[in-house]
Amino acid sequence: MLSILKTLMAPDVTVVQILPAPDKIVLIAEPTAKASACPRCGCGSSRIHSHYVRRLSDLPWQGRTVEIQLHARRFRCCDEQCCQQIFTERIAQTVGSNARRTVRLGNSQRAIDFAVGGEPGARLSEKLAMPLSGDTVLRLIRKTPIAPFPNPRVVGIDDWAWRKGQRYGTMVCDLERNQVIELLPDRETGTVANWLRQYPDIEIIARDRARFYAEAATRGAPQARQVADRWHLLRNLGDALQTIADKHRRDIGKAWKRSQLQQSAALQVVAATPDSRRRNNQVAREERYQEIKRLHHHGVPYTEIAKVVGLSHQAVSRWLKAAGPPTHDKPRQPRLIDAFETQLERRWLDGCRNGSLLWREIRAAGFTGTERTVRRWTKARCEHEPVSVRAIISAAGTTISSREYVRLLTLPVDKLTDHATEFKQELEKIAPAFLTAVTLAKTLSDLMQSRDPVGFDAWLLQAKTGLLGRFARGLEREGDAIRAAFEEIWSTSPVEGQINRLKFIKRRMYGRAKQDLLRKMVLAA
């Protein structure tokens, strides 16, 4: 065992004796070097002045703590001009100056500290037989040096909350390396500008549309090109559109109610027409038969055809012998729920999606079927409605919020139901200016996706004369940064990801993360 420990120790220390104890293991060690250099003048010396014992904590062994009793030496400096007559030898590979733990133990504890934090790190270290207090954990973190980073060329700037709505800081990331390079205590223009002046090599600054960051970038790095973040731009557009919707809420609500009345009237006509589900099923069977016929023509066996089309091989054989799919001309048997389908459709368009509630309502009107029957009807009805519209109108009733109105109006055309289409048509009659603003908002979103700065200039000219005029004039004031967003690939998305990591660290530190400690936890981890 002694030979194994000798190989595990650093080359500047050798183990001469092992003293096992019930709760720990004591290693007697001594330095291997014959001489040492003076830390002040660098002059080597082999003149020993005295000996002393350093007690160091080391990595545990078999769940027991390990203590190293290092027999260190003091030397006399050979340089008569040196002001330090006596010095202690340095054993840098094993232990640092004035340290009470070995380098490797300190590295292991530091890794735990950065991963877990203060008191949790102390508890975990205790379980791993490397005990230390919560305050020592924080001291180890604060003493960890931050590795130098190369001068950044492309940086992203965004704010993060010390306390949401009250106090904010600023995070700066090197976007080319996806690395946090600074954590500033506030988001004041002067603080950010002073930091930017230290790095004249910065060429691009990605930021949101906050005024203080725009001024800081202009004052601190006038040589850099500012790039407005595309996500924040679209978010600001959505907020502007919602503000306009709040101002036109009466007209929008009127159009919504009119579209509901028209849809309810259309249900009466639909109820009087034959059910189209049978025709749809027949079309689906005809398409399946054509696929069976094509595969049979290429010599595919019946069993393989059955797997492809989802039928049994006997059914495939019958369809081919009959030269077509079955027609199922037998008239559909009447159902108890048919007499109440118009009422159910009307309640469905009103926003009611609760099968139990619908069952209770039609039961009061004379329905004698079970709740399960109504639940099957709601499930089938839900499958024929687009998911996006279903999420907006679900349980909304006759009125929905301004944000939901905007979401519904900006949906793609292929995801709109008949009700939503009629709503847009009614809105065009009652509030055409608002619908024009919605169309312009969708156009800007499409331009951002296609990266078309020329189209943006034309969009500005058109938007400044409408309800989005105030928003458009704000974009015009930041014209260069907005156009750069169309041309450059950089954004503040990596910064947002690092801010999420920062939030996790803050919560993990139980509110004890002050500026210096939080900066070390983010930059030195």
Query: What amino acid is encoded at 229 in this protein?
Result: D
For 59, the token pair is: 């990595």
- Give the residue from 331, 354, 373 where a domain finishes: 331
In this structure, are 183 and 137 located in the same domain? no
Are 305 and 292 within 8 A, CB to CB?
A: yes
Residue found under tokens 């054993």: 91
In this structure, are 94 and 114 located in the same domain? no
User: 67 in a domain, yes or no?
Assistant: yes
For 206, the token pair is: 């990605």
In this structure, are 118 and 91 located in the same domain? no
d(C-alpha 512, C-alpha 514), whole Å: 6
Q: What is the 3-state secondary structure (H, E, C) of 109-134?
A: HHHHHHHHCHHHHHHHHHHCCCCCCH
d(C-alpha 445, C-alpha 236), whole Å: 12
In this structure, are 83 and 110 located in the same domain? no
Are 497 and 522 within 8 A, CB to CB?
A: no
Which range marks the domain in which residue 85 is found?
2-100
In this structure, are 14 and 96 located in the same domain? yes
pLDDT at 248: 82
pLDDT tens for each residue of 392-439? 444 344 456 777 777 777 777 667 666 677 777 877 788 888 888 888
pLDDT at 155: 92
User: 191 in a domain, yes or no?
Assistant: yes
pLDDT at 416: 67
pLDDT at 394: 42
- Give the residue from 291, 314, 331 where a domain finishes: 331
Q: What is the CATH number of the domain that holds 510?
A: 3.30.420.10
Burial class (CB in 10 A: 0-12, 13-18, 19+), 310: exposed
DSSP H or E run through 331: none
In this structure, are 9 and 93 located in the same domain? yes
Q: Which residues of the chain have pLDDT under 50?
A: 4, 267-274, 387-398
Return the SS3 of 18.
strand
pLDDT at 194: 92
pLDDT tens for each residue of 134-169? 888 888 888 888 888 888 999 999 988 888 878 888
- Give the residue from 265, 296, 331 where a domain finishes: 331
Cα–Cα distance list, 485 to 371, 388, 455 (Å): 55, 29, 13
DSSP H or E run through 287: helix 277-297
pLDDT tens for each residue of 364-387? 888 888 888 888 888 887 766 554
Q: How far is CA 297 from the centre of its chain?
A: 52
In this structure, are 17 and 70 located in the same domain? yes
pTM of the model: 0.64
Q: How many domains does the chain fold into?
A: 4
494 C-beta neighbours (distance < 10 Å), count: 20
Strands (E), 128-166: 154-163
User: 377 in a domain, yes or no?
Assistant: no
In this structure, are 72 and 28 located in the same domain? yes
pLDDT at 453: 80
Are 505 and 521 within 8 A, CB to CB?
A: yes
User: 188 in a domain, yes or no?
Assistant: yes
User: 126 in a domain, yes or no?
Assistant: yes
Are 382 and 390 within 8 A, CB to CB?
A: yes
d(C-alpha 164, C-alpha 162), whole Å: 6
User: 224 in a domain, yes or no?
Assistant: yes
In this structure, are 87 and 26 located in the same domain? yes
In this structure, are 35 and 123 located in the same domain? no
User: 93 in a domain, yes or no?
Assistant: yes
In this structure, are 171 and 120 located in the same domain? no
User: 448 in a domain, yes or no?
Assistant: no
In this structure, are 87 and 123 located in the same domain? no
Q: What backbone torsions phi and psi does residue 19 show, to the nearest 5 degrees?
A: -120, 90
Cross-strand pairs, 41: none
For 19, the token pair is: 């003293």
Are 157 and 226 within 8 A, CB to CB?
A: no
